[in-house]
């Protein structure tokens, strides 16, 4: 597998704040690589360093064999970038905007085909300000694709979208992967990382705390079932830890308690007994297969979106 991104010991500070604290990873050609983490974890700073928009304080970065910098225009021509916020030229239509961007590059994709690809053909004569959130995000991806880049970098492409619009963008991104593009994206949506990414790096306080294929990460950290308990009041300390099958107990600040059990039936039975005896003030109980959310919860004691 050919590495198209090579990062070693990247550090980026803003005054006193260390936004990225010594991260290393590689991104391979043709994969969808995700940075997953809560707000402020350092995702945007990392991708902005890769794009050459920020200069690292320490570490080495290589993207498509080049060192990114604000003046490395040859590299920029090979990248497709969607920033978290795009300032649109308000007086242009969708089509005019794509043609304007296309002229900035030595080569570009066919604009009509691009409009088709992002399902904006019907909106091509509309002013950008009249587009819905999902249409705007699809336009942002189209603008990132206009120069037919080898590597596409998408910063929270589906933030704030409704489930249907998010799904449409997921399909678009998977289609690009089928075309052979390499995609690096950031997200704080667990399901998105699980659905889209071949590999994810989970970022917390500027550090990578886990890296791998989503299913492998879950398997490596958790073999148990997750039982999520919402309680009316607190309960006796240690009561849940001692139940049959329970391997780990995570108590969240919100009051939710998550039990990880390797004997689901045994744990359920014991919970039912406690409940019947009036010792478990249960409001809600959910039983699920562990996910990346659980990996994050186990490693940090927090959820990604709190
Ligand atoms: P979000 O999803 O909210 O964008 P993120 O994971 O992308 O979060 P960053 O935007 O990279 O995280 O921010 C990492 C840390 O650096 C945060 O503590 C943030 O407040 C800080 N930070 C980011 N940009 C700047 C800046 N221009 N000046 C000062 N501090 C900054």
Instruction: State whether the beta carbon of 40 lies less than 6 angstroms from ligand 1.
Output: yes
Q: Final residue of a domain: which of 218, 240, 263?
A: 218
> 200 and 75 in one domain?
yes
The verdict on residue 25 lying in a domain is yes
User: How far does residue 299's CA lie from ligand 1's centre (Å)?
Assistant: 21
8 Å CB contact between 133 and 114: no
In this structure, the residue with its CA closest to atom 31 of ligand 1 is: 14
The domain that contains 282 carries what CATH number?
3.30.70.980
In this structure, the residue with its CA closest to atom 28 of ligand 1 is: 14
**Mutational pocket test of ligand 1: of 11, 20, 21, 44, the residue with most ligand atoms within 8 Å of the beta carbon:** 44
Lowest mean pLDDT among 5-19, 23-37, 77-91, 166-180: 77-91
User: How far does residue 20's CA lie from ligand 1's centre (Å)?
Assistant: 9
Task: Ligand 1, residue 186: give the atom nearest the CA.
Answer: 7
Instruction: State whether the beta carbon of 187 lies less than 6 angstroms from ligand 1.
Output: no
The verdict on residue 7 lying in a domain is yes
Which pTM was predicted? 0.87
User: How far does residue 13's CA lie from ligand 1's centre (Å)?
Assistant: 10
The verdict on residue 295 lying in a domain is no
- Average pLDDT value over all residues in the chain: 91
The verdict on residue 83 lying in a domain is yes
Q: Which domain holds residue 144?
A: 3-218
Does residue 86 surpass a pLDDT of 80? no
Segment 260-291, tens digit of pLDDT: 999 999 999 999 999 999 888 999 999 988 99
8 Å CB contact between 36 and 42: no
Q: Final residue of a domain: which of 186, 203, 218?
A: 218
Instruction: State whether the beta carbon of 19 lies less than 6 angstroms from ligand 1.
Output: yes
Instruction: State whether the beta carbon of 135 lies less than 6 angstroms from ligand 1.
Output: no
Q: Final residue of a domain: which of 184, 218, 252?
A: 218
What are the φ and ψ backbone dihedral angles of 222, each rounded to 5 degrees? Answer: -145, 120
Instruction: State whether the beta carbon of 20 lies less than 6 angstroms from ligand 1.
Output: no
Q: Residue 306's pLDDT is what? A: 55
Segment 7-37, tens digit of pLDDT: 999 999 999 999 999 999 999 999 999 999 9
In this structure, the residue with its CA closest to atom 2 of ligand 1 is: 39
The residue behind tokens 């704080």 is 188
Q: Residue 204's pLDDT is what? A: 94
Lowest mean pLDDT among 84-93, 123-132, 263-272, 290-299: 84-93
The verdict on residue 303 lying in a domain is no
Q: Residue 89's pLDDT is what? A: 66
> 213 and 231 in one domain?
no
Q: Based on the structure, what is the number of domains in the chain? A: 2
> 15 and 135 in one domain?
yes
Instruction: State whether the beta carbon of 43 lies less than 6 angstroms from ligand 1.
Output: yes
As a whole number, mean pLDDT of residues 112-137 equals: 90
The verdict on residue 302 lying in a domain is no
The residue behind tokens 């997750």 is 226
Segment 232-261, tens digit of pLDDT: 877 777 889 999 999 989 888 788 899 999
């Amino acid at each position: 597998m050919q590495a198209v991104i090579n990062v070693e010991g990247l550090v980026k500070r803003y005054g006193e704040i260390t936004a990225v604290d010594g991260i290393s990873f590689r991104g391979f050609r043709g994969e969808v690589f995700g940075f997953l983490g809560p707000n402020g974890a350092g995702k945007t700073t990392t991708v902005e360093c890769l794009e050459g928009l920020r200069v690292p304080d320490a570490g080495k970065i290589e993207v498509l064999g080049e060192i990114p910098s604000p003046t490395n225009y040859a590299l920029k021509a090979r990248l497709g970038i969607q920033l978290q916020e795009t300032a649109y030229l308000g007086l242009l239509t969708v089509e005019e905007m794509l043609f304007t961007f296309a002229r900035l590059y030595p080569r570009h994709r066919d604009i009509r085909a691009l409009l088709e690809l992002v399902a904006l053909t019907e909106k091509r004569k509309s002013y950008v300000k009249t587009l819905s959130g999902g249409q705007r995000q699809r336009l942002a991806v189209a603008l990132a694709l206009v120069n037919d880049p080898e590597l596409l970098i998408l910063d929270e492409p589906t933030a704030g979208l409704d489930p249907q619009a998010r799904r449409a963008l997921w399909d678009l991104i998977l289609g690009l992967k089928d075309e052979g593009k390499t995609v690096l994206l950031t997200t704080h949506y667990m399901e998105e990382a699980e659905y889209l990414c071949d590999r994810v790096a989970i970022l917390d306080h500027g550090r990578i705390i886990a890296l791998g294929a989503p299913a492998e990460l879950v398997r490596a950290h958790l073999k148990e079932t997750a039982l999520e308990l919402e309680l009316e009041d607190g309960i006796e300390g240690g009561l849940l830890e001692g139940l049959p099958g329970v391997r780990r107990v995570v108590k969240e600040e919100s009051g939710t308690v998550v039990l990880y059990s390797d004997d689901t039936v045994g744990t359920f039975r014991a919970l039912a007994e406690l409940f019947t005896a009036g010792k478990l003030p249960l409001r809600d109980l959910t039983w699920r297969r562990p996910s990346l959310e659980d990996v994050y919860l186990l490693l940090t004691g927090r959820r990604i979106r709190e």
